[in-house]
Each structure stands twice: as structure tokens, then as C-alpha cells.
Amino acid sequence: MPHSPPRAILRRFISTIPTVKKELHKWANRARHLPDPLRSQALLSIELKAFHCVGGSVYAHYPGVDVEAMIRLIVAFQTISDYLDNLCDRLHVADPDAFRLLHTSIVHALTPGATIHDYYKLYPYSEDTYLSRLVQTCQDLLSRIPNYKRSQPLALCLAENYCELQVLKHIAQGEELLREWVERTADSELSWNEWAAACGSTLGIFLLFSLAYSSSDTEEEQILQAYFPWIQGLHILLDYLIDLSEDKEAGDLNFITFYPTMQARDQSLCKFAQVSKDLARGLPVPAFHRTVVDGLIALYGSDPKVRSQNQEDIIHRMAGDRRNLFWLDLCKGLRRLRVV
């Protein structure tokens, strides 16, 4: 498959958004049969975080990928992530052992053939028809990707960081424990909150799914170094930026608040944007990865919360040139049309 220019990637991406929403609708129908409060949290995670699946579906358009199968896989995996985030955040549970067991489902989702466990064993609520089916769906779809076994170790490495982040940030003394974890495990120029933020993205895992369709393994390490920590960090810092007011009101941990000044925050955000753009240009299929970076800034930057929090200036600085501002305006239009 020839490499496509950004606008062609964008056209294909937009054309398959209805397919993403159809998949989400299937999982929502299954969630409606759950007992409360799991039902409400499953449905809220789909309703309020659908754009995570929509944005992630761009990886279904990486060269050589089976588009329909990849969309199903991305939706199932991201739905696990968003659902577990709600279970750890919204039901007044603060047991790290329960959270770790819940997140074992993510590791099993990435491990075709792994035995499905009772992931709710330590959690106060349970069901047996939703989370296990999401895990099985991921396993089945991954087992059909030609070279996934090659990519699996890197995917599991990213997933382990993701799961540990999710456990620590949702329990008492989360900030202290996160700082200690980063100091123990990270070898990076980044501050602790930036490295931790980078652990919270699933983009690198989606990328590895896409790369596993290729018979070549020469790209994976190089590409992943661009994604972790830079492109993944850009992703999650943008996510926290637009959620600043909501997290302050709810008393939730937000990595953006740990910058000493607003100037330091804005300098860091601009650095993440610029380094991500520069690294994307040097990767195989550079147009695709640059589309991802520009799309992140446009997707988050077009959220109405940006305007209500007076964040338009920093978003424009991150977007940079006229080409990127076009993407931003396009996403605003897609939001008005309720496409995203």
C-alpha cells in the first residue's frame, strides 16, 4: 500500500468514524445489561470518552492494516481502559490491590490465550458478561494479526507502565507514590509529572498493533522512542490541560498542576509539541505520524473547554504554522457537526 499524504489519511479517517461509533454502540448495548453501578459507569465511559476511540482509530489507517479488524480491536481495548478508569475514579473505592487485579484484564487483553480471571474478585461490585468479553475480543483479534508475537513484548511493557500509573494515581498519597515510582523506574530528562503523563497514553500500543501487520521489525524500537515519552506525553498533557477546571472541582489529580508557573507549563507544552513534530518527520511513514501529532493538538484544542478556560493562546502556540491551524479549524467544524 503506498504511503498517503496527510489529507488522504484524514479523509479515510473521517470516513470510518461511523464504523467506530457503531462498534461503541454494540458495547453500550451490552453494558445496558450490567447491574448498577457498573452499568452506569460503563455507559458513562462510552458516552463521555468516545472521542478516545475515535481518535485512536487513526491507527486503522496505517499502511497495510486491516481497517475493520483494527477498528474493532482499538474500540475494544480503549473501552477497557476507559471503563477501568471510571471504576477506579468514580465509585469511592481506593483499594490498590483491587485496582491492580482489575487492570490485569489489560495485560490479558494483550495476551492471546491467557485465561480469563475474575477481575472483580477484590472489587465491591462484579459482573461476568462485559469486561471478560472485551478481553476475549482483543485476544481473538490480536491472534489474527500476522506478526503480533513480535510486537507483544513492547506492547506489554507499555501496558505495565499504564497499569501502574492507573493504580497509583487513584489511591491515597497518589502524588507521593507516583513521584517515588518515577524516580525508581524512569531514566529521563523529563520531570516526574511529564514522564507519568506519558505512561497514560495507549497510542504506542495502537501503533504496535499496526506495525504487527508488517513482516519487518526494523521500525519498532525507533518509532516507539518517538512515541514514548514524547508523542504519548503530548497526548496526555493535552488531555489534562483541557480537564483542569473539572479536575479541580472534583479534587482529581492533574499532572498539569505540578508545573511551578503557567510560563513553565506553556514552555513544556510547546516543547512536547515541537519535539513530537520533529521526531515524527524522521520516522518511517512520516506523513502518518505527523498527522497523529497535528491531529492530537487539533482534537484537544478544538474542545469547547479550551475556550471556556482561556487556553486558546497556548493551543495556537502549540499548533504553530498555518497548516496546523487549518487542522484546528477543521476539528472545530467536525465538532459542530457532531462528527467527533
The CATH number covering residue 134 comes to 1.10.600
As a whole number, the mean pLDDT across the chain is 94
Query: C-alpha cell of 302?
Result: 478544538
Boundaries of domain holding 37: 6-336
- Residue 334 is predicted with a pLDDT of 85
- Output 321 or 305, whichever has higher pLDDT: 305
- When pLDDT is cut at 50, 70 and 90, the band that residue 282 belongs to is very high
**What single letter denotes the amino acid at residue 270?**
C
- When pLDDT is cut at 50, 70 and 90, the band that residue 3 belongs to is low
Residue at 77 is within a domain: yes
**Each residue of 181-217: pLDDT tens digit?**
999 999 888 999 999 999 999 999 999 999 999 987 7
According to DSSP, residue 229 is labeled I
Residue at 17 is within a domain: yes
Whether residue 311 has pLDDT greater than 90: yes
Alpha-helical regions (H) of the chain:
6-15, 17-31, 38-56, 67-89, 96-109, 131-143, 148-169, 174-185, 192-199, 203-211, 220-226, 232-242, 244-250, 262-281, 286-301, 304-308, 312-319, 322-336
Residue at 83 is within a domain: yes
Residue at 85 is within a domain: yes
pTM of the model: 0.95
How far is Cα 324 from Cα 232, in angstroms, rounded to an integer? 19
According to DSSP, residue 1 is labeled -
Terminal Cα-to-Cα distance of the chain (whole angstroms): 27
Domain count, the chain: 1
Residue at 1 is within a domain: no
